[in-house]
Structure 1
Amino acid sequence: MSPGRIWRRRGWSSRASTPTWTSYGARGMGEALVLLGAVGTLALCAAVFDAVLAVPGGGAGEPLRRVARLLLQQRRRTRLADTLLVRTGVCGLLAVAVLAGAVLPLGERPVAEMAVGVVWFNAMEVGAWGALWLVGWGVNSVYPLVGGYRFVAQGLAYELPHMFALITVALGAGSLRFADVVAAQRGLWFAVWMPVAFAVYLVSAVAMAFWGPMDGPVSDDICGGVPAELSGPDRLVFQAGRYALLVVVAAAAVPLFLGGGAGPLLPPWLWTALKTVAVLALLVWSGRVLPTVRMDLFTRLSWLVLIPATLLQLLVVSVVVL
């Protein structure tokens, strides 16, 4: 057999000289960069929204000024702080947000297609608990520790209704894949069909991002809470992770309840971006107009109102679907 035949038989032709794993790796890296760019851009939008609402009539450049100040600021350190735990928690918050966003459709398809994308999204959310707790515990200071305890209590209150809302969506679509959830809303958005689940999701979204009325873990009454002792680049990465988490929970509402990228005239990716910005603006606005909710009141509301309401919504959807 000639060398040319051996070359072609083994799949080493000149037109396909690049190994398959290399092309897959390049494609995955490109999609990861697109995801990071999308999350970063929307996180900057959230920061601008927040700055404009904080300073009516201006303040759009405030996020960039904050970034510059934090990059130049010297790090403070408390006595006997566990630096490894603190850095793991600070970076973990941003990593959790990006990993949760990896399964969300950026238009027609997500970066990471998973048969259990809804479960993955919920699991990454729980990772935020660990990130905040590591920061609150690791700095060895009273107020950050109180903030960490507050977030654990807040998580125990919001996670059950949040999980039931996601189960309702999965039941209505008959799948845990985000693409199937979007396809199931071609006739009617789940926000219209499942209004209780949608409302509960929005409440749990601000609780997960510890934003607005659910900002107890970083509240002023405990001197800033979890990030109180963070400074310099550590505080910058923590704030970036918080904005990224807010963006991801807002973006998840689009495929879960608002039909994904469906819409007239415009391409799917643009409809997805517009819907995400609309939900994001609503969540940021809530942080400026609603007061902080006490954890004991929120826990009572969750167990007495939100959980029964989502269970009733789940029962209605199950009767209609099954």
Structure 2
Amino acid sequence: MLDVVLSFAVILIVFLALPLIVGQTEHKVMAHMQSRLGPMYAGGFHGWAQLIADGVKFAQKEDVIPAAADRRIFMIAPGVALVPYLVVLIVIPLDRDMVAVDLGLGLFFVLAVMGIGVLGSIMAGWASANKYSVLGGMRSAAQLMSYELPLVLAASSVAMAAGTLSLPGIVEAWQWWWLPWQAIGGVVFFLAGLAELRRPPFDMPIAESEIIMGPMTEYTGMRFALFMLAEYAGIVVLSFLTTVLFLGGWHGPFLPGWLWTLVKVFLLAFVVIWLRVTYPRLREDQLQKLAWAVLVPLALVQLALTGVVKVLT
């Protein structure tokens, strides 16, 4: 029992720390890529305390609930968006012996729980009694239905190759020659995960220039901050899963396994930020076409290729 409590405490610390680090990194990386200073003053040296200052700002803001809103759903929606990512981290291995719970159906569990997080945006959009929020919620629902299929198919390819649904088991079975063999699935999984997180260029449900902030339009203070934390936590979870499924997790020379995992996670988080800065927002028709005309066929090709390789080997 004590081991479980300690493991959960460590995971909670990681859960709170890594999204904040990714958020601060995004501020700095975007500033450099766009040739601007970015936050430089909070905390002194290079603006290291900017996220803390943002948290204090959110805590001081008034918690406003629209009069016409469904109060109960409106209040719990940020928690529904955030908590699933905390639950998912429990089964993701950091190293060979560093995982809180090794579920035999870990991959199935992760994919099922991650889908719940998107429901927070749908609930927020419906409960806000705002036409822009409802439109954002509808876009979130359409995006979830479109990109869940290639996400699951790409993950299924890795499970088929490894012969197990256990996340540590998949890493143990991973070989270096999987990098080119499973590359198509890795790209499909990563892009589909970005779309489910509604990260640019897949941010049509938020689209500040069109529908203000979509499902989050009516949110203020700490409830809005929870949605932001859920976004960064989602980036961390997606980077962890891509690392575990397609990049060999803790496998690597010289460095400790857990350090290799974190290095790969932060490199993928950097790619997420780079994509935000580099590519413009997709139109709704382009977003749906990418899912159904590109990613789903590629995921099926990867699945077929995996089946052929398994039969031949």
TM-score, normalised via structure 1 length:
0.89
Within-5 A mapping of 1:280-299: 280-299=269-288
1:167 equivalent in structure 2: 156
Q: Aligned partners of 1:134 and 1:127: how far apart in 2?
A: 11
Counterpart check, 1:50 vs 2:23: no
Q: Which runs of 5+ in 1 are unaligned?
A: 1-23
* Identity rate, percent: 26
Structure 1 counterpart of 2:190, one-letter code = L
Match of 1:227 in 2: 216
Q: 2:201 aligns with which of 201, 208, 213?
A: 213
Provide the alpha-carbon RMSD of the alignment.
Answer: 1.4
Cα displacement string for residues 4-28 of structure 1 (whole angstroms, at most 9, x for unaligned residues):
xxxxxxxxxxxxxxxxxxxx1x221
Residue in 2 that maps onto 1:120: 109
Aligned 1:176-195 pairs, distance under 5 A = 176-185=165-174, 187-188=175-176, 190-195=178-183
TM-superposed deviation, 1:254: 1.0
Aligned position for 1:98: 86
Greater CA drift, 197-206 or 35-44: 35-44
Larger Rg: 1
How far apart are residue 189 of structure 1 and its match?
5.5
Partners of 1:121 and 1:43 in 2: how far apart?
18
Distance in 2 between the 1:230 and 1:87 partners? 10
1:38 — aligned with what?
A: 14
The 8 Å contact of residues 153 and 295 in structure 1, kept in 2 or not, is answered as no
Distance in 1, matches of 2:14 and 2:126, equals 32
Cα-to-partner distance string for 1:119-176 (whole Å, 9 max, x where unaligned): 0110011102221111111121111111111111111111111110010010010110
| Cα displacement (A) at 1:192 | 2.4
Question: Hey, what does 2:308 align to over in structure 1?
Answer: 319
Task: Tell me if the contact between 2:118 and 2:197 (Cα under 8 Å) persists in the aligned partners.
Answer: no
Distance 2:293 2:133 in 1: 30
Match of 1:200?
188
Unaligned runs of 5+ in 2: 40-46
Query: 2:249 aligned with 1:267, yes or no?
Result: no
Give the secondary-structure state (helix, strand or coil) at the position aligned to 1:237. Answer: helix
Structure-1 separation of matches of 2:285 and 2:110 = 27
What is the one-letter code of the residue matched to 1:236? A
Cα distance in 2 for partners of 1:177, 1:81 equals 42
Give 1:216 shift.
1.4
Corresponding residue pairs, total:
297
Q: Cα offset for 1:295?
A: 2.2
* Separation of aligned partners in 2, 1:200 and 1:237: 28
For residues 94 and 282 of structure 1, the distance between their equivalents in structure 2, rounded to whole angstroms, comes to 22
**In structure 2, what is the Cα distance between the partners aligned to 1:65 and 1:189?**
46
Q: Which residue of 2 aligns with 1:5?
A: none
Structure 2 Cα separation of the partners of residues 90 and 290 of structure 1: 28
C-alpha distance in 2 between matches for 1:275 and 1:224: 31
Q: For the residues of structure 2 that align with 1:130 and 1:180, how far apart are their CA atoms?
A: 30
Q: Distance in 1 between matches of 2:112 and 2:182?
A: 23
CA drift at 1:68 = 1.3
C-alpha separation between the residues in 1 aligned to 2:305 and 2:204? 34
Q: How does 1:75-86 map to 2 (within 5 A)?
A: 75-86=63-74
Q: Distance in 2 between matches of 1:181 and 1:217?
A: 33
Alignment of 1:8-157 (within 5 A): 24=1, 26-56=2-32, 57-59=37-39, 60=47, 61-108=49-96, 109-157=98-146
Aligned-residue offset at 1:321: 0.8
Q: Residue 53 of structure 1 contacts residue 288 of structure 1 at CA under 8 Å; is this kept in 2?
A: no
Which residue number in structure 1 is paired with residue 44 of structure 2? none
Alignment correspondent of 1:16: none
Q: Contact conserved, 1:189 with 1:257, CA < 8 A, in 2?
A: no
- Alpha carbons 2:18, 2:236 under 8 Å: kept: yes
User: 1:202 Cα deviation (Å)?
Assistant: 1.2
Which residue of 2 is the match for residue 10 of structure 1?
A: none
Give the deviation of 1:290 after TM superposition.
Answer: 1.2
Residue 77 of structure 1, CA deviation: 2.0
Q: Is the 8 A contact 2:124 2:216 kept in 1?
A: yes
